[in-house]
Structure 1
Amino acid sequence: MTSSIPAVGTRTAEAATLQAVFLDLDGTLVDTEGFWWEAETEVFASLGHTLDERHREVVVGGPMTRSAGYLIRATGADIGLAELSTLLNDAFAARIARGVPLMPGARRLLSELAAHRVPTALVTASHRTVIERMLRSLGPEHFKLTVAGDDLKRTKPHPDPYLTAAARLGVNPARCAVVEDTLTGVRAGEAAGCRVVAVPSVAPVPPAPGRTVVGSLEEVDLPFLRSLITESRGSVH
């Protein structure tokens, strides 16, 4: 998979050093995947369509254009992509206005990374307006930068979001750990050359060479993330 993100110089570091951690948002740090499905169900009900539960695994973790486009095709709803995207974002925003629940282990992990001054980026397919709302619950001080789905021409499953985060931090993607909950996000991190930890939420993520799958963020801490880079030192150049 190719990318339009230019290569940049990286910080000098020992071969086995963890340089940064990139974290997904929905379903990884915050328990909001159900919120998105509720928003989608509500909007399509207002359009006269009932969403089948089987559509849920298809749309989870994807960029708005892909998810909304799929649902339009699946239901035959008479609405344009731009209008539907606005309706979905508005419905979702209404649900998170009073705060969002964090996934088990999320706050502890963010605090640990901050305490050890590990550069941390929030990398998500959600739009910038959604990120700003959710940061109120997560704490903006935990992230050195954020990359939103509408910041780039291409988002997940393309590697661009993670390559952009690495470029802006001046780090080597191969020395970065990515934490994701969906196969779409996992593929984006892997395509960028990062070490990926999958924490499945709605849909399962199958094991694969070089991929680590865990049950929850409670199994993820700084020594664990550092070990991923140490283990990969023989295969990363």
Structure 2
Amino acid sequence: MPVTASLPAAVLWDMDGTLVDTEPYWYDCQVELVESFGGTWTREDGDAMIGTGLWHSARVIQGHGVDLGEDEIIDRLTTAVLARVADDVPWRPGARELLAELKREGVPTALVTMSIRRMADFMIAAIDFPAFDAVVAGDEVAHSKPHPEAYLRGAELLGVDVADCVAIEDSPPGLASAVAAGAVALGVEHAAPLVDDGGYTRATTLVGTTLDDLRRLHSAGAAARAQRSTDS
């Protein structure tokens, strides 16, 4: 298939599960915290938290017997996860390579994560080139994913139309956020199963994914929007 001339105005990236493989660490830290208060945290409990906002997760954890405030739960979990990745950040395959190509080609990028800012800053600092032009963190928005606010804010910070952006995500709540915001969304399945008819393009890996692939995805999204406008 030939490469089109249509470049996305920006690429908006999720972090946990998309850029870095931190979901197992979040689960382990949740187990440790809940068990320290005499409760039980199952794999199903952890899977239900993937892609959601930390304040929602904190309230669920409180319901499992953790007698701490929401902010303290978030702070403890963030500190525990960062301690696990401090010496070896678990990058998702293909993610840094695609980021590097976007930067070489001058495509603006934003990190759009529900983790708090200090965790986002740690991961960004661990990349050996200036990877992101803007950051939206979970403690900087009023509404967490699947609400569209975070992706709308990412596009706003870059000064572009979100409908002209490609968003890369791994979780159903994150993809729902990107789709609701109006971005062209690429879902890279990882810890949570994705569907084939969720309004996004589903993939199994970013390995080998290039800017040319995002050009095609962006062009197809623009064509689909134009067709929907014609049909209506």
TM-score (norm 2): 0.89
What is the deviation of 1:89?
Answer: 1.9
- Provide the secondary structure at the position in 1 that maps to 2:84: helix
The whole-number CA distance in structure 2 between the counterparts of 1:138 and 1:63 is 24
What is the deviation of 1:62?
Answer: 1.1
Partner of 2:131: 142
Query: Which of 217, 222, 225 is 2:214 aligned to?
Result: 225
**Residues 88-135 of structure 1, C-alpha deviations (whole Å, 9 max, x = no match):** 222222222224111111121111111111101111000001111111
Pairing 1:167-182 to 2, within 5 Å after superposition: 167-182=156-171
The whole-number CA distance in structure 2 between the counterparts of 1:49 and 1:178 is 37
Partner of 2:224: 235
Q: Count the aligned residue pairs.
A: 223
What is the deviation of 1:150?
Answer: 0.5
- Provide the secondary structure at the position in 2 that maps to 1:138: coil
What is the deviation of 1:69?
Answer: 1.2
Give ranges in structure 2 of 5+ residues lacking alignment: 227-232
**Residues 137-180 of structure 1, C-alpha deviations (whole Å, 9 max, x = no match):** 23460111111111111121111111111112111111100000
Partner of 2:50: 60
Letter in 1 for 2:89: V
Letter in 2 for 1:23: W
Q: Answer yes or no: is the 8 Å Cα contact 1:123–1:147 preserved in 2.
A: yes
- Provide the secondary structure at the position in 2 that maps to 1:98: coil
Pairing 1:102-117 to 2, within 5 Å after superposition: 102-117=91-106
The whole-number CA distance in structure 2 between the counterparts of 1:138 and 1:33 is 19
Pairing 1:82-231 to 2, within 5 Å after superposition: 82-139=71-128, 141-208=130-197, 210-231=199-220
Letter in 2 for 1:25: M
The whole-number CA distance in structure 2 between the counterparts of 1:175 and 1:153 is 24
- Provide the secondary structure at the position in 2 that maps to 1:203: coil
Give ranges in structure 1 of 5+ residues lacking alignment: 1-13
Letter in 1 for 2:173: T
Partner of 1:30: 20
Q: Which moved more, 1:22-31 or 1:39-48?
A: 39-48
Q: Answer yes or no: is the 8 Å Cα contact 1:30–1:100 preserved in 2.
A: yes
The whole-number CA distance in structure 1 between the counterparts of 2:223 and 2:123 is 38
Q: Answer yes or no: is the 8 Å Cα contact 1:174–1:236 preserved in 2.
A: no
RMSD: 1.9
Q: Which moved more, 1:84-93 or 1:57-66?
A: 84-93
Q: Which moved more, 1:102-111 or 1:136-145?
A: 136-145
The whole-number CA distance in structure 2 between the counterparts of 1:71 and 1:15 is 48
- Provide the secondary structure at the position in 2 that maps to 1:177: strand
Q: Which moved more, 1:58-67 or 1:177-186?
A: 58-67
**Percentage identity across aligned positions?**
37
